[in-house]
Amino acid sequence: MSGGYLTGDAPDGGAPDRWAPDGGMRGEVADGGPADGASAGGASAGGASAGGAPPPGEDAEPARLTAWLAGHVQGVGLRWWIRARALELGLVGSAENLEDGRVKVVAEGAVARCRELLALLAGPGTPGRVTGVTQRWDVPRGGLASFTER
């Protein structure tokens, strides 16, 4: 992925990474975590770590990626585009518009495939204009059968 990752400090010791195409910090979030109230806590059970870093281990290990996309991301076909890319990668989950203007993406599948989706989210060819991506990694919760737009 071009640009750079920057990690902020959360009060609980964990933090999501914030990425912007120009390498700068974008999408500052209150309390150092996702604005939708989700925690960006420390290590989770099952070997995956919550926060900005993908879980350690094999690329085939299952993981859960949650990403919040900021910028001109609603009303541009982005959720449909994300669904198509996720299905091509064999991921399950959802993409939904948030009231604050961002798009929230939840994807579960192999770590390597989740990384590929993350790279696509702010890459060239993404509908609209993504100015920042905040990500959180965790263990998969399961119970998802496909990838949906909400």
Q: Which of 32-36, 58-62, 113-117, 119-123 has the lowest mean pLDDT?
A: 32-36
Q: What is the pLDDT of residue 58?
A: 78
Average pLDDT over residues 130-138: 97
pLDDT at 43 over 70: no
Average pLDDT over residues 33-45: 37
* Percentage of the chain exceeding pLDDT 70: 62
* Residue that has been written with the tokens 């939708």 in this structure: 36
Q: Which of 2-16, 74-88, 89-103 has the lowest mean pLDDT?
A: 2-16
Q: What is the pLDDT of residue 7?
A: 33
Q: What is the pLDDT of residue 122?
A: 86
Supply the pTM of this predicted model. 0.69
Q: What is the pLDDT of residue 92?
A: 98
The DSSP annotation for 102-141 comes to -EEEEEEEEHHHHHHHHHHHTSTT-SSEEEEEEEEEE---
Catalytic annotation, pick one of 26, 64, 79, 83: 79
pLDDT at 21 over 50: no
113 flagged as catalytic:
no
pLDDT at 114 over 70: yes
Q: Is 112 within 8 Å of 59 (Cβ atoms)?
A: yes
Number of residues assigned to the chain: 150
Of 122, 115, 109, nearest to 52 by C-alpha is 115
What integer best gives the mean pLDDT of the chain?
75
pLDDT at 138 over 80: yes
97 flagged as catalytic:
yes
